[in-house]
């Protein structure tokens, strides 16, 4: 498949240039954002020296702290619930036969593809039908439901890779479903569950579209706060805030990726 | 096995609860709301009407719908053209290099697109880096007005959505049986023929999957036109947001969302048909 000659070398160089150009396109805006969060100037484009002032300004903003705390509580609870119920759903879909299984399996994938705005308004309608006031609980339920499919898919993929004979052997030796679940399935699935949990945490912490429709004035969260600030224009404090969140979510994604790569 | 039947029921029950209530019921409610009426006193009331759908295709909405479709379609086209060779390059790279390339691609895939859109604003604003750089280098003599134009919206959309095109394409290209390409070459097919007759048809499910993942968000990510575009860059997402939160016309907003959902359904069916019964869902995650 690899013909040799001067033409290949030329295409090889072109390919490298193209690859680097795409990655630069992805990363330059973010890198500039990070660099400017340390720039000792409010509006200037030129570098005026290193400072941590913008981070200091951030840490003194009480409103921001409250929103950050809200987001953290929301992300932790939503991602843990999503990891729990998502794992149960993946196990049900993999091991059990039940009414509407095909439909449920289909819904998982449709939810992943559905534009966030559609999910957001569908949930808004659901919450208003049940007279659930918009605030922490509506956000929590919404975040669990949009994180869940990602956990299901991650866990299901790992389960498909497991040796089915293990379950049969355990069953032959007299293990009950719950024992098989606790002693065999869960430990083997752990990397995928943690990966799904981390991805859910990231999704929850970053979500704007769905939260926009199901949040109330009583419970402000960070992404919506960032959106409101970003609409007012570029500010060095906002650069600092975005830098912090980007670094946190990026590390979570990297860890999740590592866990998914581990072979069972 | 009877003693742990409760575990089975709990697992199946909770699965049905989450997906049944929070997606199935919620979407059925949206369908219902789209055929209901609205006035000052009631958010939603009966009897049913199809007027919201008729209104969705009235000139004002149709203009926004078409413009939105045009912008999103152009964005999808750009992403496809940029992503296809790139996905190929990743798939053909050696193993260690490929892992790093994938990781660097997955980071923008999962991290906040709001933050990345904001980063783009500071890059292209009138007194931003690009203008300053070009002015200093003497390439331009007056700062370009990029921010608050359709071009800025397009840059923002492609910047945010390109990874969503590359990943499904990569998943397909990686599975491509290279022996077919070799066979075609042995039988005397040239590069263009191989691309047209073998590679593109075989990776069609990936192409459609990528288009779904780019086109629908491109029409609906309302904060991108909001941050980067001007008053004229209202997209479908901004219209739905406006109907729900400003005009308080929920039935109209739901009807427009249903049109969007229908479009998604058609694209998913096309994808399913093209995958020929293989596990077509793998393309999306």
Task: Give B59→chain A minimum CA distance, Å.
Answer: 23
Q: Which domain holds residue B255?
A: 56-284
Comparing CB atoms, the residue among B114, B182, B216 nearest residue A1 is B182
* Residue A29 within a domain: no
Q: B18 and A144: CB-CB below 8 Å?
A: yes
Predicted confidence (pLDDT) per residue in A47-68, tens digit? 888 888 889 988 888 888 899 9
**pLDDT-derived band at B117, boundaries 50, 70, 90:** very high
Over residues A2-31, mean pLDDT: 81
Comparing CB atoms, the residue among A93, A226, A253 nearest residue B106 is A253
- pLDDT over threshold 60, residue B280: no
**Contacting residues of A for B240, CB less than 8 Å apart:** 117, 121
Task: Give A224→chain B minimum CA distance, Å.
Answer: 10
Q: A45 and B181: CB-CB below 8 Å?
A: no
Comparing CB atoms, the residue among B4, B18, B125 nearest residue A177 is B4
- The number of CA neighbours under 13 Å toward the Cβ of B111 is 29
* Residue A162 within a domain: yes
* Residue A167 within a domain: yes
Q: B107 and A213: CB-CB below 8 Å?
A: no
Q: Please tell me whether the interface predicted TM-score (ipTM) of this complex is above 0.90.
A: no
Q: Which domain holds residue A91?
A: 59-261
Which residues have a Cβ under 8 Å from the Cβ of B216 and sit 6 or more positions away?
A: A113, A114, A115, B72, B260, B263, B264, B267
* Residue B273 within a domain: yes
Task: Give A92→chain B minimum CA distance, Å.
Answer: 6
CA B279 – CA B285 distance, rounded (Å): 12
Q: For chain A, what is the mean pLDDT? A: 88
* Residue A19 within a domain: no
* Residue A31 within a domain: no
Give whole-number Cα distances, A243 to A27, A140, A237, A250, in Å.
13, 25, 10, 10
Domain count of the fold of chain A? 1
Which residues have a Cβ under 8 Å from the Cβ of B116 and sit 6 or more positions away?
A: A29, A30, B108, B159, B160
Comparing CB atoms, the residue among A157, A212, A242 nearest residue B115 is A242
Task: Give B101→chain A minimum CA distance, Å.
Answer: 9
* Residue A38 within a domain: no
Predicted confidence (pLDDT) per residue in B202-244, tens digit? 889 899 999 999 999 999 999 999 899 876 778 889 989 988 8
- pLDDT over threshold 60, residue B188: yes
* Residue A111 within a domain: yes
* Residue B194 within a domain: yes
* Residue B28 within a domain: no
């Amino acid at each position: 498949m690899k013909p040799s000659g001067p033409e290949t070398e030329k295409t090889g160089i072109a390919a490298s240039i193209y690859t680097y150009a795409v990655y630069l396109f992805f990363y330059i805006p973010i890198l500039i954002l990070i660099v400017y969060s340390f720039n000792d100037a409010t509006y200037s484009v030129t570098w005026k020296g290193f400072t941590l002032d913008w981070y200091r300004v951030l840490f003194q903003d009480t409103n921001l702290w409250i929103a950050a705390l809200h987001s953290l509580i929301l992300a932790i609870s939503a991602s843990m619930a999503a990891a729990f119920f998502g794992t149960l759903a993946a196990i049900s879909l993999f091991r059990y036969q039940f009414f509407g299984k095909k439909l449920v399996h289909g819904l998982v994938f449709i939810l992943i593809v559905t534009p966030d705005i559609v999910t957001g308004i569908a949930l808004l309608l659901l919450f208003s039908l049940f007279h659930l006031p918009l605030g922490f609980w509506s956000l929590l339920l919404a975040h669990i439901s949009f994180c869940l499919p990602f956990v299901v898919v991650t866990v299901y993929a790992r389960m498909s890779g497991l040796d089915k004979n293990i379950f049969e052997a355990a069953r032959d030796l007299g293990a009950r479903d719950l024992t098989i679940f606790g002693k065999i399935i869960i430990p083997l699935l752990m990397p995928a569950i943690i990966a799904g949990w981390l991805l859910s945490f990231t999704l929850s912490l970053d979500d704007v579209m769905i939260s926009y429709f199901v949040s109330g004035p009583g419970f402000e969260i960070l992404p919506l706060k960032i959106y409101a600030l970003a609409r007012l224009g570029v500010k060095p404090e906002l650069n600092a805030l975005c830098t912090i969140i980007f670094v946190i979510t990026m590390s979570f994604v990297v860890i999740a990726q590592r866990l998914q790569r581990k072979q069972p | 096995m009877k003693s742990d039947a409760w575990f089975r029921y709990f697992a199946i029950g909770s699965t049905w609860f989450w997906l049944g209530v929070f997606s199935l019921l919620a979407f059925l409610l949206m369908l219902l709301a789209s055929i209901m009426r609205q006035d000052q006193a009631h958010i939603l009331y009966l009897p049913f009407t199809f007027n919201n759908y008729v209104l969705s295709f009235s000139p004002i909405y149709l203009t926004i719908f078409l413009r939105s479709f045009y912008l999103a379609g152009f964005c999808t086209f750009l992403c496809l053209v940029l992503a296809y060779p790139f996905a190929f390059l990743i798939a053909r790279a050696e193993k260690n290099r490929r892992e790093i390339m994938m990781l660097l691609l997955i980071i923008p895939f999962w991290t906040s697109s709001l933050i990345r859109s904001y980063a783009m604003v500071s890059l292209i604003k009138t007194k931003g880096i690009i203008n300053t750089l070009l002015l200093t280098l003497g390439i331009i003599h007056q700062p370009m007005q990029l921010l608050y134009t359709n071009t800025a919206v397009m840059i923002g959309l492609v910047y945010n959505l390109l990874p969503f095109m590359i990943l499904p394409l990569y998943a397909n290209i990686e599975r491509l049986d290279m022996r077919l390409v070799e066979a075609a070459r042995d039988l005397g097919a040239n590069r263009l023929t191989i691309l047209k007759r073998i590679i593109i048809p075989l990776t069609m499910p990936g192409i459609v999957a990528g288009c779904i993942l780019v086109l629908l968000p491109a029409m609906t990510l309302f904060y991108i036109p909001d941050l980067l575009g001007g008053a004229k860059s209202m997209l479908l997402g901004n219209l739905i947001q406006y109907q729900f939160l400003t005009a308080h016309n929920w039935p109209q907003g739901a009807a427009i969302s249903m049109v969007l959902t229908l479009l998604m359904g058609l694209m998913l069916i096309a994808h399913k048909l093209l995958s020929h019964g293989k596990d077509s869902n793998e393309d999306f995650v």
